[in-house]
Structure 1
Amino acid sequence: MAAVLPARVTAPPLAQYALAFARRRVLLVGDLVADHYIYGQTDRVSREAPVLIVRHESSEVKLGGGANVAANVRSLSGQVTAVGLLGVDEMGRALRKLFAEAGIELSAVSAKGVETETKTRILAGGVNTTRQQMLRLDRGQRGPLPPKLRRALVKRVEEAAKDADAVVVSDYGAGVVGEEMREALRKLAADGLPVCVDSRYSLSAFTGVTVCKPNEPELQSLVGRALRTEEELVEAGHEVVRKLKCQALLVTRGRHGMALFDAKGGLDVIPVHGAKEAVDVTGAGDTVIAAFSLGLAAGGSFGDAARLANVAGALAVQKPGTATVARDELLGELRGAR
């Protein structure tokens, strides 16, 4: 890539920022998802239809979507308040319990008729085989939220932001982050509070925030063209910074590491951390945005925060399934990398 900024040799050790995580509070705004897993055993096909019969063995619920970002902030020792939508239902109750057990402060809006966003995965296998995912069933909000709920969510965010050192937006398209919320987030960013956005489907709508975090395919979607060369990726990154009017754009690139663009035309290329092959990339983006926001909250620059996030993400992909990274793990890796 061209125009790479020289590496800083006088920057404080990244471990200093990680040590400060416990004194920082992050506000998580987004879609709180129940990742519901049903495990079973299968050994025959039904006579009713050409489908496998699964005999139920166990089930569990995990924090998913924006809730997993909050869990990552907490695991990294940061203080976190989560604002989102939960139903008064079985999955809502399960998430509330998990938030409490994790030490996450919850400021959820609930109302009659609201269903908790849930992804139910059925995993099954034979007696001596590895379980495979057979089916995923999604439940939750359809269409935009009623105005009353949207206003209530904005009010919760404005109140919680008073005590926050950074804001993370985890938008999975389930309706929590509408235009009213985006306008509130722009105001927070304009007032100097770092607002970091990870949006799966609507990143183009998040203009005027501090940092946006697309992956490479999402960057291609934002510019509407394939990015076949490094030069094309660099051009696209600078174009999106101008389009979104953000201060920085962090592009995650899998085994190619990260590329950090800023509003002044700067580019910082960050190689992937470590030489180990990824075990599972599920949820790694949640770990990255959690560590990045904590890095900014701790006083680090965009580059410092990105390098912290790069190491945290490398640790996350070494774990199977949706996983969190503990601050001690991150510190150990940072100290070993010196």
Structure 2
Amino acid sequence: MAAGSTAQALPALTQLPLTFARRRVLLVGDLVADHYIYGQTDRVSREAPVLIVRYESSEVKLGGGANVAANVRALSGQVTAVGVLGADEMGRALRQLFKEAGIRLSAASARGLETETKTRILAGGMNTTRQQMLRLDRGQRAPLPVRVRSALARLIQEAARTVDAVVVSDYGAGVVGDEVRQVLRELAGDGLPVCVDSRYALSSFSGVTVCKPNEPELEQLTGRPLRTEADLMEAGHAAVKRLGCRALLVTRGRHGMALFEAGGGVDLIPVHGAKEAVDVTGAGDTVIATLSLALAAGASLGEAARLANVAGALVVQKQGTATVSRDELLGELRSAR
């Protein structure tokens, strides 16, 4: 579809977000605490060639799969999150944030499990913008215990009985293992839309509804460098066939998106808007959340992809881990008239 016809199609999608509040989505994935520490720095340590940071404040945000759930909720959808949280400080912080956001939480846990946490230290001078200086990652290093993996599969089966779509956010922290993937395949086989975003293990998600890689992830999946549009076409069709999914939505940064369907159809969707991205952190979370919620609302694959394309363009205008609200999305769609 050409860029002009895409722009003309956007107002037709305006009614879709109005139905989101009645739709229920199940989020399955790695629930991550995005922990930010802010400080001020103006000198180098005498002990080592490092900057000294004077602590000012800190905050915790919903990250990883938790940010996908937050995006569904910001778009007014009803969402239940299934994952793993530890009985630690960050686990307690995430539970409180889920409660405040109106997200239902169904978390498995076990003694000794540590909540997946990304701590970022941001610092700068008194009158300068804070810049990220260091990121410290913490979380479960060993595979999850068998009983936790079995508990996750049961929680998903129970929660899926009352939802309109499932969205999977796999950041490689171990929540989405073999037991969970088998349940997801069964749900997709029963006709429930199952949309998957997997950073490191996309090849293991056969038989789901939609997979959403970016271009580097598609290269890794197919073993083919994407130097030309012809390379993209070959890789996209090969991936759909290999995964046995209904569709593959490839995010392409400033080149927009490409939607490959199992029947052989391809839709090249140009990037929405002309503004340069401010921060792409978490943009994939917004895209997969919007896509799954649109499918839950009865949208076609093409309609859901275009809506996700607009939401992605809006979220990259925001700093850090962010969401897009239903009103923001509606406003953008209406301005295209």
| Coarse TM-score class (shorter-chain normalised) | over 0.9
- Per-residue deviation, 1:43: 1.4
Query: Does structure 1 residue 243 correspond to structure 2 residue 251?
Result: no
Q: Any idea what SS the aligned residue of 1:13 has?
A: helix
Tell me how far apart the structure 2 counterparts of residues 299 and 328 of structure 1 sit (CA, whole Å).
20
Tell me how far apart the structure 2 counterparts of residues 144 and 16 of structure 1 sit (CA, whole Å).
44
Give the structure 1 partner of residue 305 of structure 2: 306
Give the alignment of 1:103-182 within 5 angstroms.
103-182=102-181
Give the structure 2 partner of residue 195 of structure 1: 194
Tell me how far apart the structure 1 counterparts of residues 231 and 47 of structure 2 sit (CA, whole Å).
54
Query: Does structure 1 residue 331 correspond to structure 2 residue 334?
Result: no
Tell me how far apart the structure 1 counterparts of residues 206 and 142 of structure 2 sit (CA, whole Å).
22
Query: Does structure 1 residue 210 correspond to structure 2 residue 209?
Result: yes
Query: Does structure 1 residue 285 correspond to structure 2 residue 269?
Result: no
Give the structure 2 partner of residue 233 of structure 1: 232
**Please, which moves more after superposition, 95-104 or 268-277?**
268-277
Give the alignment of 1:39-118 within 5 angstroms.
39-118=38-117
Tell me how far apart the structure 2 counterparts of residues 292 and 23 of structure 1 sit (CA, whole Å).
16
Is the contact made by 2:224 and 2:231 (CA closer than 8 Å) also made in structure 1? no
CA 46–169 in structure 1, closer or farther in 2 if over 3 Å, else same: same
Give the structure 2 partner of residue 18 of structure 1: 17
CA 82–331 in structure 1, closer or farther in 2 if over 3 Å, else same: same
Q: Any idea what SS the aligned residue of 2:275 has?
A: coil
Tell me how far apart the structure 1 counterparts of residues 48 and 153 of structure 2 sit (CA, whole Å).
48
- Per-residue deviation, 1:9: 8.5
Q: Any idea what SS the aligned residue of 2:15 has?
A: helix
Aligned residue pair count: 336
Is the contact made by 2:70 and 2:101 (CA closer than 8 Å) also made in structure 1? yes
Is the contact made by 2:10 and 2:336 (CA closer than 8 Å) also made in structure 1? no
Q: CA RMSD in A?
A: 1.8
Unaligned segments of structure 2, at least 5 residues: none
Listed one character per residue, the Cα deviations across residues 206-246 of structure 1 (whole Å, up to 9, x for unaligned) are: 00000000001111111112111101101110000000000
Listed one character per residue, the Cα deviations across residues 129-179 of structure 1 (whole Å, up to 9, x for unaligned) are: 221111111000113111100000010000000011000000000000001
- Per-residue deviation, 1:7: 7.2
Is the contact made by 2:219 and 2:226 (CA closer than 8 Å) also made in structure 1? yes
Give the structure 2 partner of residue 269 of structure 1: 268
Is the contact made by 2:6 and 2:269 (CA closer than 8 Å) also made in structure 1? no
- Per-residue deviation, 1:127: 1.5
Unaligned segments of structure 1, at least 5 residues: none
1:244 is matched by which residue type in structure 2?
L
Listed one character per residue, the Cα deviations across residues 46-81 of structure 1 (whole Å, up to 9, x for unaligned) are: 222222111110000000000000000000000000
TM normalised by structure 2 equals: 0.97
- Per-residue deviation, 1:21: 0.5
Give the structure 2 partner of residue 255 of structure 1: 254
Tell me how far apart the structure 1 counterparts of residues 282 and 291 of structure 2 sit (CA, whole Å).
15
Tell me how far apart the structure 2 counterparts of residues 264 and 114 of structure 1 sit (CA, whole Å).
44
- Per-residue deviation, 1:16: 1.5
CA 303–258 in structure 1, closer or farther in 2 if over 3 Å, else same: same
1:199 is matched by which residue type in structure 2?
S
- Per-residue deviation, 1:117: 0.2
2:97 is matched by which residue type in structure 1?
L
1:326 is matched by which residue type in structure 2?
S
TM normalised by structure 1 equals: 0.96
Q: Any idea what SS the aligned residue of 2:69 has?
A: helix
Q: Any idea what SS the aligned residue of 1:236 has?
A: helix
2:240 is matched by which residue type in structure 1?
V
1:241 is matched by which residue type in structure 2?
V
CA 237–126 in structure 1, closer or farther in 2 if over 3 Å, else same: same
